[in-house]
Amino acid sequence: MKYRSTLHRSPEVSLREAVLRGSAPDGGLYMPVEIPHLQKDFLERLPSLAFPEIAREVGALFAGDEIPPQILTKIVTEAFNFPVPLVALGERLHILELSHGPTLAFKDFGARFMARLMEYFVQESGKQLTVIVATSGDTGSAVAQAFLGVSGIRVVILYPAGRVSDAQEKQLTTLGQNITALEVSGSFDDCQRLAKQALVDPAIAEKLTLTSANSINIARLIPQTFYYFAAAAQLGPSESLPVFSVPSGNFGNLTGGLLAKRMGLGVAQFIAATNANDVVPEFLRSGKLIPRASRHTISNAMDVGNPSNFARIVDLYDNDLQAIRRDIWGCSFSDEETLRIMHDVEERHGYVLDPHTAVGVLGWQCFAKQNQSAARGIVLATAHPAKFAEVVERAVGARPNMPERLAAFLDRPKKSISFPNRFPELQEFLLAANT
């Protein structure tokens, strides 16, 4: 399996090189040269497979002969040692709970798979690897947990000061060891811009091996295809194909679903559900992507004004706007609407949503009203509500139960470095830390 840049100005590379580089030298994102296609036999066996088995079979198509089968089995068994349940809230609405991992967010899937994959590749090369990641909340905590104590790898996390929840901040700033958190004066888009600059900076490349742990890294994207197959397996057979509503910020989660469909999974429609940061729904309406400064909302992990993975979506569809529109239906919602649906779902079903998953439920409801077919909706639940206890309390009048593994972080002292929103300082920091 070979990988190429979305900008088509860099040579094709192996999976190992794509993962350790993070992004291509021309600034593009890596994609498979050819999208692998699953055999009909796999889709027939899907309902009988456990999640690690699904991950192994799908992952093997992306890995080719670069990862021995026994190593891949070990990676997915260790990475995905938690459940991925599908919960029915009604005859047509289902919630795929992706928040049962160590940091209670769907980012655990990508981060844990990537950490083990990188560890394998680094052990082969014998080089020290520096991983840089920008986060709007959950990515940072998932990456920090996944890479904590991994030999040969140090992690630098950039997060926007004052724009993540208290629980998210504690999860990514209290670990120490090989994890360093930089509290950047700015937005997530600023953090993402700094990380991207570092990845293509010649001075940094000359001194250290730097890669990304954001969803621009193909190692984060590959495991995000796995749970779409798991959702379809649990949903069971039907005359109609499922509709996936995906709370969207940087659009890696949705891109994973698009890849799963291209690989052979039956999907009727994808809903790109956003908060006020609606540049992609606006693109679907107007045909023009106009990046802008991100707006701060209660669903903060989706506060992205220039989503990186949009480049992969355009690439996947050969820049065919009508083809994109056939597969993706876009919508956006305000904080007030988000709080209201959190209240309504708790009152009607006794089910507590986090504010990101709530945007996904709003997306499904909006789509279902306009499409009165018998299609069944699957909303991806991206985080545990306890990570956003203050918002949940505003919506439903009470704080959600706090899982022990989250509560354990809240009493730990914060260890972060206040950092300016300027690249020269980041360059100096990275190079100095390598000496």
* Active-site annotation, residues: 107
Burial class of residue 341 (count of CB atoms within 10 Å of its CB; 0-12, 13-18, 19+): buried
Report whether 331 contacts 366 (CB < 8 A). Answer: yes
Neighbours of 285 (CB within 10 A): 11
Looking up tokens 């354990």 gives: 408
Neighbours of 13 (CB within 10 A): 19
Phi, psi of 116 (to 5 degrees): -75, -35
Report whether 261 contacts 311 (CB < 8 A). Answer: no
Helix (H) or strand (E) holding 142: helix 138-147
Q: Give the type of residue at 432.
A: A
**DSSP string for 11-29:** --B-HHHHHHHSS-TTS--
Report whether 43 contacts 241 (CB < 8 A). Answer: no
